[in-house]
């Protein structure tokens, strides 16, 4: 049945902050490696809110409410998610929506992925889709939100506008997200170092504490100037803000206004003088790495006079990324005005985020023009390249490797493998076997569990290279529990015996030189590696034989400098690819999706022209680090032929 009404082109709307005295729906989100905020489920958000009420600086164990999240905990003090088994840390944020929005009603919109399971949309997109659905629009264009997709409510399909690929989508009802009333708790407004109310000793608190007196004096002087200027110029237009000094660190905004020029749903920043037309832009600010996030005020200019304006609410209630709508007057900033490079507020930019923010506040309050630069996006790919410009890598034959099903290894006899790399010990020392934890002078702990005619439970063997000793039956048991690829790895020192291979699914690897240089390597061209692995069915060597596995983000592009060491790394990566060690099938640490292709502990640089995510250049230690990682997989420089 057709849905009445016209289609909808989505406006870019801020997530916003409802007034402090209204009800709000709370959604907790985590930041993935693509810069997207992914929502936790409603049940998890209820759990986080319950812990937050009891201890605002405590730790949330996510596995208590969702078994799939058992490795993860959230530290409410630093607002980070921590994965206990890998040590991966990701920022989290506490976001707010209207009670009438999708999360307030328990509505979840999802799209069907390659494995046939359903993935929820980002909450911002989910809210937008639900709004269009309720207004009975027949279709919805997500281009203005940064996605080249068209949602068709009649067929309940999502269409990629570039590839024309269609995916099913669905709308389902779930638990509504938690609802809170009133003002933000003090502990969430401004985290402090102790319950006594003393300010904490982090760099940001020290910075704010040291500049607060000076800034209040400047603002007081500027306020008197603004009042006088307005009285003398009845034709002046604009908004004047009366700013009073904050009384305490804990529980209040750093600046408390008595009037505001912005609406309730956005934090507006205007800079410069004159009456030129304002240009709207989005500036994402991430304060996730700082426990005490500085408030970002609105700076409104009135014929050259600069007033400090802040929404009439506490804006420190979201330690995570904030969406700020900034109006900049065209032509208002004269040439030569210094720009504050607020490039990356995760701490890797040239200017400390707190220093840049406070300096901007003080300069504007003193009547000085300031230009805040737009936060950059990662440069993932080089400029477009013609196929004729792609050249073979010097010293390496060919430009492509393939792994097919016929290349998958066949299992070898465990007893033969163990005997190949060990020698029998006639008199065993009186020490523990670190596999079964029984004494070597006693029988193996696997006696009665494993039966091998040629290996008795009391036999002890010594590994050839490292000399560590174990029960031979224990080594057989360890081999049976591994990849069964004909290699052994000492459980004590990790020395590899034989050629270690992995469980990487079939795919192809391409490599060539492109005529562009990487940051930090201005005199070298770039080696581009392209990995492509399709989705498929798991085999006996994988976690769930017979079950489908997904392959997200392929083809994956990686980059190396085209110099001597870069070419050496490429040769070893080709060897690791042939041994099926680059990828494996497991659970994604980014999305939590299981039965999907993931990296296998050999790091690659996937960011071409920047290093905002930590997966790019410049990184002077990367080539040495990846050589170490390859060596740990048994792919060392000694494997290279002269």
**Most trustworthy range by pLDDT among 9-23, 197-211, 279-293:** 9-23
Q: Which residue has the tokens 């790019």?
A: 616
DSSP reduced 3-state for 479: helix
Model confidence at 337, pLDDT cuts 50, 70, 90, reads very low
How far apart (Å, rounded) are the C-alpha atoms in residues 101 and 88?
Answer: 32
Average pLDDT of the residues in 31-41: 88
- The string of pLDDT tens digits covering residues 112-160 is 988 888 999 999 999 999 999 998 989 998 887 878 889 999 999 999 8
Q: How many CA atoms lie within 13 A of 284 on its CB side?
A: 13
Least confident of 192-201, 401-410, 484-493, 558-567: 192-201
Per-residue burial over 547-577, b = 16 or more CB atoms within 10 Å of its CB, e = otherwise: eebbbbebebbbbbbbeeebbbbbbbbbbbb
Does the pLDDT value for residue 78 go beyond 50?
yes
Does the pLDDT value for residue 183 go beyond 60?
no
Model confidence at 165, pLDDT cuts 50, 70, 90, reads confident
Does the pLDDT value for residue 361 go beyond 60?
no
Which residues lie closer than 8 Å to 127 by C-beta, 6 or more apart? 97, 101, 102, 103
Yes or no: say if 257 and 295 are a contact pair by the CB < 8 Å rule.
no
Which residues lie closer than 8 Å to 27 by C-beta, 6 or more apart? 39, 40, 45, 94, 95, 96, 97, 103, 123, 177
Do the strands 322-329 and 268-271 form a parallel or antiparallel pair, or are they unpaired? parallel
Per-residue burial over 478-495, b = 16 or more CB atoms within 10 Å of its CB, e = otherwise: bbeeebbbbbbbbeeeeb
Q: Could you tell me which residue, 611 or 409, shows the higher pLDDT? A: 611
Average pLDDT of the residues in 455-470: 90
Residue 525: which of 512, 543, 539, 535 has the closest Cα?
512
Does the pLDDT value for residue 68 go beyond 90?
no
pLDDT above 70 covers a percentage of the chain that reads 64
Residue 424: which of 471, 461, 453 has the closest Cα?
461
Which H helix or E strand runs over 123?
A: helix 123-134
Does the pLDDT value for residue 294 go beyond 80?
no
Q: Could you tell me which residue, 572 or 426, shows the higher pLDDT? A: 572
- The string of pLDDT tens digits covering residues 417-444 is 888 899 988 888 989 998 888 999 999 8
Dig out the tokens for 540 from the structure.
């006996």
Q: Could you tell me which residue, 289 or 453, shows the higher pLDDT? A: 453
Least confident of 11-25, 88-102, 533-547, 603-617: 11-25
Does the pLDDT value for residue 289 go beyond 90?
no
**Most trustworthy range by pLDDT among 217-231, 324-338, 540-554:** 540-554
Model confidence at 252, pLDDT cuts 50, 70, 90, reads very low
Domains (range + CATH), the chain: 23-181 (3.30.720.50), 400-404+506-639 (3.30.390.130), 414-493 (3.30.40.10)
Q: How many CA atoms lie within 13 A of 115 on its CB side?
A: 17
3-state SS of 542-582?
A: CCCCCCEEECCCCCEEEEEECCHHHHHHHHHHHHHHHCCCC
Does the pLDDT value for residue 557 go beyond 90?
yes
In this prediction, residue 257 carries a pLDDT of: 37
Model confidence at 236, pLDDT cuts 50, 70, 90, reads very low
In this prediction, residue 224 carries a pLDDT of: 58
Yes or no: say if 121 and 191 are a contact pair by the CB < 8 Å rule.
no
In this prediction, residue 580 carries a pLDDT of: 93
């Amino acid at each position: 049945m057709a849905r009445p009404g016209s289609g909808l082109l989505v406006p870019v709307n801020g997530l916003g902050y409802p007034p402090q005295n209204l009800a709000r729906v709370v959604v907790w989100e985590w930041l993935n490696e693509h810069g997207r905020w992914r929502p936790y489920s409603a049940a998890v958000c209820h759990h986080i809110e319950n812990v937050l009420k009891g201890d605002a600086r405590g730790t949330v164990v996510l596995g208590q409410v969702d078994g799939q999240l058992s490795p993860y905990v959230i530290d409410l003090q630093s607002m980070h998610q921590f994965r206990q088994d890998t040590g991966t840390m990701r920022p989290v944020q506490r976001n707010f929506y209207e009670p009438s929005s999708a999360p307030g009603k328990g509505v979840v919109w999802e799209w069907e992925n390659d494995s046939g399971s359903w993935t929820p949309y980002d909450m911002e997109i989910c809210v937008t889709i639900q709004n269009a659905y309720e207004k009975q629009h027949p279709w919805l264009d997500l281009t203005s939100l940064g996605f080249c997709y068209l949602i068709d409510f009649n067929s309940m399909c999502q269409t990629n506008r570039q590839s024309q690929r269609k995916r099913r989508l669905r709308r389902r009802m779930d638990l509504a997200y938690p609802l809170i009333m009133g003002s933000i708790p003090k502990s969430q407004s401004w985290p402090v170092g102790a319950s006594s109310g003393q300010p904490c000793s982090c760099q940001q608190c020290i910075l704010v504490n040291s500049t607060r007196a000076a800034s209040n004096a400047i603002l007081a002087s500027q306020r008197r100037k603004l009042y006088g200027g307005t009285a003398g110029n009845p034709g002046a237009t604009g908004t004047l803000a009366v700013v009073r000094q904050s009384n305490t660190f804990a529980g209040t905004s750093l600046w408390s206004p008595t009037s505001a020029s912005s609406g309730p749903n956005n934090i507006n920043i205007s800079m410069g003088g004159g009456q030129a037309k304002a240009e709207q832009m989005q500036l994402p600010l991430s304060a996730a790495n700082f426990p005490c996030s500085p408030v970002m005020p609105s700076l409104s200019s009135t014929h050259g006079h600069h007033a400090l304006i802040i929404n009439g609410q506490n804006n420190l209630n979201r330690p995570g990324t904030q969406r700020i709508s900034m109006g900049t007057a065209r032509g208002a900033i004269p040439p030569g005005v210094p720009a504050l490079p607020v490039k990356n507020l995760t701490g890797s930019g040239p200017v400390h985020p707190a220093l840049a923010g406070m300096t901007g506040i003080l300069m504007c309050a003193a009547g000085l023009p300031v230009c805040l630069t737009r936060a950059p996006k990662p440069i993932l790919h080089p400029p477009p390249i013609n196929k004729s410009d792609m050249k073979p890598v010097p010293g390496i034959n060919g430009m492509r490797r393939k792994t097919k099903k016929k290349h998958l290894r066949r299992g070898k006899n465990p007893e033969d493998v163990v005997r190949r790399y060990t020698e029998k010990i006639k008199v065993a020392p009186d020490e523990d076997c670190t596999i079964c934890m029984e004494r070597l002078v006693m029988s193996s702990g696997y006696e009665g569990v494993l039966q091998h005619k040629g290996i008795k439970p009391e036999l002890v063997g010594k590994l050839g290279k490292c000399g560590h000793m174990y029960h031979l039956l224990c080594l057989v048991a360890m081999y049976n529990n591994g990849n069964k690829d004909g290699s052994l790895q000492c459980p004590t020192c990790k020395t590899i015996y034989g050629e270690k291979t992995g469980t990487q699914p079939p795919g192809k690897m391409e490599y060539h030189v492109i005529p562009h240089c990487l940051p930090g390597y201005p005199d070298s061209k770039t080696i581009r590696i392209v990995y492509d692995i399709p989705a498929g069915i798991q085999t006996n060597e994988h976690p769930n034989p017979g079950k489908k596995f997904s392959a997200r983000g392929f083809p994956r592009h990686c980059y190396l400098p085209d110099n001597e060491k870069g070419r050496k790394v490429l040769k070893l990566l080709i060897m690791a690819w042939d041994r099926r060690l680059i990828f494996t099938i497991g659970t994604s640490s980014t999305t939590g999706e299981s039965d999907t292709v993931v990296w296998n502990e050999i790091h690659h640089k996937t960011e071409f022209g920047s290093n905002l995510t930590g997966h790019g250049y410049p990184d002077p230690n990367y080539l040495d680090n990846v050589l170490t990682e390859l060596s740990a997989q048994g792919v060392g420089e000694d494997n290279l032929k002269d």
